[in-house]
Structure 1
Amino acid sequence: MKFNYLKKLMVIALLACAYLPLSGDDQALQIAERFITTFYSWDRSALQEQMTENDDHQAVIYYQGWAEGGNYAVKIRRPCLLENDAISCSITVTDNFGQAMGYIATDTFRLLISNGQISEVTFTADDPPIFEELQQWIMTERPEVLTGPCLDMFAGGNTPQACAKTVSELAEEFMTTRESER
């Protein structure tokens, strides 16, 4: 009988903890997790609603279109982490570029959250040197891409999906050319 009483008391205590208000850090982590979910769902409007208007905003929207056009698929989604004054979210993805050139990359988003909204976002990727080689090859061998679908790439351009699709196709051509030169 005493055991049942303790068991009930533990259940009541656990339920009470579930209804405690979230701390500011917990709320910020939830906002960051929602951002990642929205980013990889390709819902541009929902993503825009989560961010304040600033220069980062346009770069993030472009990158979302680029990721969609490159067929990014989440392979490993790690929980977002609070690091000093920002939140860091690292997501390992597969994409058309990596498939063509034989690598898997991790995107890391760093978010600042103010008043329940994302006020700043920066992002980095750990693409290997071969991706830089591809970019150099495009500049010398296919410069028309940079004045066509990739005009103002990551700098206010309007066709991120078309740019990513074109670069994906060129990655295959680049690898074929690279192999034939060996």
Structure 2
Amino acid sequence: MKKIFYLSILIFLGCKNQTNSKIDVYQNDNIVIANQFIDAFYSFNEDSLKLSLSYAEKSHPSILYYQKWAECGNYEVLNRADCEIKNDSLVICPVTVKDDLMSALELDLNVTDTFHIIIKDKKIRSVKTSSNDPVVYYKAKDWIKQNRPELIEKPCEDAWEGGPTPCECIKATIQGLAEFKANEESQKTQ
């Protein structure tokens, strides 16, 4: 009877370990796939990025736009933190970059963009981004809309929805941010 009991425990533990190892392999696969996406994004090669988004068609407009925006904004990767599994399909990948946007605002700050990547059956199904942009960045963007709308209206048309001019949009935004900063400085001296 004792032998049957011990044998049952060994079989149970063996099954449990096999299940855990399958989950670990699946999660490791998702981490590898997420890192390949990050590599493709920061290669600034549109074809490579499109390939990694083959099964995430709804993400194409915003992510392809953002890649070109990042390239033309001179995003330089400073730190790629480890991607982290959030659940069976969501992987979060934070990437800290230096860019021309913060430079235009004369901020000694590097922004972290976080990619939220949904992976199912070893295929990326969707990608969204978030960022820790400082409040002054949003204040400056509002200032541009109110005081220099002509600067961004045409170049930023359909921005983040696959608009045709991400490079022109970020360059106009950078110019607007610099004007905002100059305006702030001139108000301090008055």
Supply the AA of the counterpart residue of 2:98. T
Stretches of structure 1 lacking an aligned partner (at least 5 in a row): 1-19
| CA positional deviation for 1:116 | 2.2
Q: Which runs of 4+ in 1 moved over 3 A?
A: none
2:101 to 97, 104, 129: 97
- Partner Cα separation in structure 1 for residue 101 and residue 120 of structure 2: 35
**Structure 2 Cα separation of the partners of residues 167 and 123 of structure 1:** 19
Higher gyration radius (CA): 2
Identity of aligned residues (%): 34
Q: CA deviation at 1:81?
A: 0.9
Aligned residues: 163
| Structure 2 CA distance for partners of 1:120 and 1:63, relative to 1, 3 Å | same
| Secondary structure of the corresponding residue to residue 133 of structure 2 | coil
TM-score (norm: length of structure 2): 0.81
Which runs of 5 or more residues in structure 2 are unaligned? Answer: 1-20
* Deviations 1:60-96 (CA, angstroms, capped at 9, x unpaired): 1111111111110011111111111300000111100
The one-letter code sitting in structure 2 at the alignment partner of 1:133 is K
Structure 1-normalised TM-score?
A: 0.84
Whether 1:118 aligns to 2:120 is no
- Specify the code of the residue in structure 1 equivalent to 2:43: S
Whole-Å Cα distance in 2 between the matches of residues 104 and 130 of structure 1?
14
Match of 1:27 among 26, 29, 34: 29
Question: RMSD of the TM alignment (CA)?
Answer: 1.7
Q: 1:67 aligns with which of 48, 67, 70?
A: 70
- Higher percent of residues as helix: 2
Query: Aligned-pair distance for 1:53?
Result: 4.1
